Structure 1
């Protein structure tokens, strides 16, 4: 028999979705502060889900994308209320290392214009992550740290960036070695 979708405590007691989201948001805030204490650290949505289930004793079989936005929206609003940087910038997708469209709530709450494209959103999130690391005591390099894309996204961007090609010999049109002198001419 398939498990019924819903929200329940470890003891089997069923609870309303909104109650679960509120409880998870409190735990998410604490979990994300912990992530922010390591420079350039991020956490995936799936890792956050697993830690929320463990910390709260509340679980669901509902799809992650159907409820995690509700939890992170609560974190975004609580961060704003406390005058802290948006901790939700630390949460990225496993497959591509991006924060995703839900991050637009950060911009909306701050009264900023919507991101023009995905990379603009990611760059904003990188700046927000650096603010989180600074606020929550991550040991930073001597220069104070730099905003950075998540490691997975950085790797993907590097892979798409064409590598510079060495010049060709003007006589025989073979690629010149590092010395710059053609071995064929």
Structure 2
């Protein structure tokens, strides 16, 4: 299976049956990205070197304004899209098989988890996977230790308080917090 066909299938949101061709392709991609994340995470790199390795991880060049503090973890890498002026703090985990899009000017705190896959509920289907994308708007600030679950879209300028678990979509210009996250207030965006 080609990478293009894999991404097309994953972005369709269709069920990934355990041990299928799509599932095996996903496992092979994991092995490839583990080599790259090991290279990124296990010695010092300049900011330019970090961008170069991260570009290899996601399979496309990131903007020169992109910054990341390792370590960084992903188990696919190839379904991540990053805007300009994005900062990712240390020890983030992106499970990106279902697709992750991060808008310009977004700040992501340490220990953030972006998860785009769920497992089957029925025990006989527990190994099957259900991909749903995460989309993060422009100017979003995600605090430390936040988890964002499959299918979530955050509008522009959202602030996610530290420790929140985001289970649903939120409109632009709001501050959210809690488990599960709820709107605390709206931002006056004049």
- Shorter-normalised TM range: under 0.3
Q: Would you tell me which structure has more strand in proportion to its own residues?
A: 2
**TM-score in terms of structure 1 length:** 0.26
Instruction: Report which of the two has the higher share of helix.
Output: 1
